[in-house]
Copies of this chain bind each other. A is one copy, B any other.
């Protein structure tokens, strides 16, 4: 029963085999968001603030924070954003950068035990990121590609994941602090992409005994009704044993797929979260004096 504990100064989140699925909000990331990138480069973090609040309100258990803006001072910006986000919310953070100096800078100001996003199986990345993870007592996302790129062969991706877990152990980082991303390919490009992830998640859980995460929305790239397909995909990978995802908590179909999967696996005690979210307004209104009438009015509207 592997558990990965991530924390802020005042709150812990457990990613684990017997835990509700952990949603890591993906929005604070300038990649592909021109306006956000321009604002962040100027030190204007108003959109970071609103994204923080909206994602936590929508049910994110953690937030991913990325400041990857070309030509900008990423270490400085990432540290500022980490500080800002931690002043606004107590949900733990995933500190996300491809630049080791930026990870170091973000970890330097972070309060709590962070999730470092990410290390790959590339030698230079292993040798620079893992010591940093160990030094800060953090956990780390392990992405199952290496110098040769992303293999379409799931056995190769599994072998890369195993190598990263072993190397982490050499640095004194337990497998329970390595969260493996088996890499989700677009099903429109690779017809076996879904089956690959389902079988990799089971193997990572049973053989390596590690927690798992992924960028789920990549699965539906290029197809219509992406939210509907992402929702089914999320339910199925949770059923196969996936324990977290970096995704957009503002999308209702995806969140319903995740919440439904928690119910199916018995990870939503007495279905309390499901009932709390979906019970009809009339029932809510009935709880307080005068509320019943308001509930009815809402229904008519």
A residues apposed to B, CB below 8 Å: 187-188, 191-192, 194-195, 198, 219, 223-225, 228-229, 231-233, 235-236, 238-240, 256-257, 259-261, 263-266, 269-271, 274-275, 277-280
**In the complex, chain B residues whose CB is within 8 Å of the CB of A224:** 274-275, 278-280
Q: Which residues of B contact A233 (CB under 8 A)?
A: 260, 264
Task: Answer whether A274 and B235 are a contact pair too, CB < 8 Å, given A195-B266, A198-B264.
Answer: no
- Chain B minimum-CB-distance residue to A192: B266
* Residue of chain B at shortest CB distance from A231: B260
CA of A235 to CA of B229, assembled, Å = 10
Task: Give how many copies assemble into the complex.
Answer: 2
20 A–B pairs (Cβ distance < 8 Å), ordered by A: A187-B264, A192-B266, A194-B263, A194-B265, A195-B264, A195-B265, A223-B274, A224-B275, A228-B256, A231-B231, A231-B232, A232-B257, A232-B261, A232-B263, A233-B260, A235-B236, A235-B257, A236-B236, A236-B239, A239-B239
Which residues from chain B contact A266 at a C-beta distance below 8 Å?
187, 191-192, 194-195
Binding site secondary structure of chain A: helix
Contact between B236 and A264 (Cβ–Cβ < 8 Å)?
A: yes
Other-chain contact of A223, B192, B194, B231, B271 (Cβ < 8 Å): B271
Complex CA gap A42/B235 in Å reads 45
**A278 and B225 within 8 A (CB):** yes
Name A261's contact: one of B236, B275, B279 (CB within 8 Å): B236
For the complex, what is the distance from the CA of A265 to the CA of B199, rounded to whole Å? 11
Cβ 8 A contact of A270, one of B191, B239, B277:
B191
How far does the alpha carbon of A239 sit from the alpha carbon of B197 in the complex, in Å?
11
Most buried by B among A224, A236, A259, A275: A236
Residues of the B chain whose Cβ atoms lie less than 8 Å from the Cβ of A271: 187-188, 223
Inter-chain CA distance A182–B235, complex, in Å, is: 20
Complex Cα distance, B238 from A263, in Å, reads 16
Smallest CB separation, A263 vs chain B (Å): 6
Is B223 within 8 A of A264, CB to CB?
A: no
Q: Say whether B236 contacts A194, CB under 8 Å.
A: no
Complex CA–CA separation, A233 to B256 (angstroms): 11
New A-B contacts (17) at CB < 8 Å, excluding given A223-B275, A229-B274, A236-B264: A187-B263, A187-B271, A191-B269, A194-B266, A219-B264, A223-B274, A224-B278, A224-B280, A225-B274, A225-B278, A228-B278, A231-B257, A231-B260, A233-B264, A235-B235, A236-B238, A239-B240
User: Which residue of chain B has its CB nearest to the CB of A258?
Assistant: B232
Partner of A235, one of B232, B275, B278: B232
